[in-house]
Amino acid sequence: MAGVKEGLVIWGASGQAAVIVDIIRLKSEYEIIGFIDDLDPERHGTEFCGAPVLGGAEQLERLQSQGIRTLIMGFGNSRARLRLAALARSKGYRLATAIHPHTSLGMGASVGPGTVIKAGAAIDPLVRIGENVIVGSCVSIGHHAVLEDGVRINAGARVSGYATIGKAATIGTGALIRDRVHIGEYCFVGMGAAVIRDIPDRVVAYGVPAKVRRAITPEAD
């Protein structure tokens, strides 16, 4: 039937989910069916951002039986986004993207499923953004940069051309990443850092210039 929107479930019911709701409603591409929340069972059956909190992950099969096939992750934890997105896909869901209409997306830039790009982001030509990435408000990504799956770039950060951000790495608010720098998998780069040389996998780095401060153990994933 013409005019009927596809149903969408958002996994998560906090600040990140509220941002996604705003983007979805501005673009008017989906009908938000409700939210999945595994963290607080007391919220089940309540309302959030104008839609019900349906329950936890046990709702996935019921929703699918009702014809709901599309889902997006509405929380910030990079590792959990990748893990739960894989679970949802294994149950037959596809991942939606949420790109704010006030985003500049350059020629030849690619955006993977499940990714969220917030207001004011400027994505240069030929950037490659993977799956389940979060690009914060007013972030700039230089040409030919690569953001691998699960990356989170917080508000106001600047990623220069040809830089590569590894899987599930987090870049803090206002950080600056020099051109052609590689930041390793599962890294955390602190707020306001200036990254002028490569950062290895699984470390915390911050400062001007950014220096490695400590390792992130595999158990922390």
State the Cα–Cα distance between residues 97 and 158, nearest whole angstrom.
22
**Mean pLDDT of all residues in 194-217:** 97
pLDDT in tens, 67-77: 999 999 999 99
Can you give the pLDDT at residue 111? Answer: 98
pTM of full prediction above 0.85: yes
Instruction: Give the pairing of strands 211-215 and 203-206.
Output: antiparallel
Q: Which residues contact 15 (CB under 8 A, 6 or more apart)?
A: none
Q: Which class is 6-96 in CATH?
A: alpha beta
Is the pLDDT score of 7 beyond 50? yes
**Mean pLDDT of all residues in 49-71:** 94
- For residue 14, the one-letter residue type is S
Is the pLDDT score of 1 beyond 80? no
Can you give the pLDDT at residue 219? Answer: 57
pLDDT in tens, 10-33: 999 999 999 999 999 999 889 999
Prior bond of 200 cis (ω within 30°): no
State the Cα–Cα distance between residues 155 and 136, nearest whole angstrom.
4
Q: Which class is 99-206 in CATH?
A: mainly beta
CB 209 within 8 A of CB 196: yes
Can you give the pLDDT at residue 221? Answer: 46
Domain boundaries of the chain, sorted by first residue:
6-96, 99-206
Mean pLDDT of the chain: 95
Q: How many CA atoms lie within 13 A of 216 on its CB side?
A: 20
| pLDDT-derived band at 88, boundaries 50, 70, 90 | very high
pLDDT in tens, 130-167: 999 999 999 999 999 999 999 999 999 999 999 999 99
DSSP 8-state secondary structure symbol assigned to residue 199 = B
Query: Which helix (H) or strand (E) is 47 found in, with range?
Result: strand 47-48
CB 77 within 8 A of CB 151: no
Q: Which ranges of 3-156 would DSSP assign to H, the alpha helix?
A: 15-27, 59-65, 78-90
Share of the chain above pLDDT 90, in %: 90
Q: In 3D, which of 130, 64, 72 has the Cα closest to residue 92?
A: 64
| pLDDT-derived band at 3, boundaries 50, 70, 90 | low
The string of DSSP letters for 184-211 reads: -TT-EE-TT-EE-S-B-SSEEEETTTTE
Encode burial over 173-196: b for 16+ CB neighbours within 10 A, e otherwise.
Answer: bbbbbbeebbbbbbbbbbebbbbe
Can you give the pLDDT at residue 5? Answer: 87
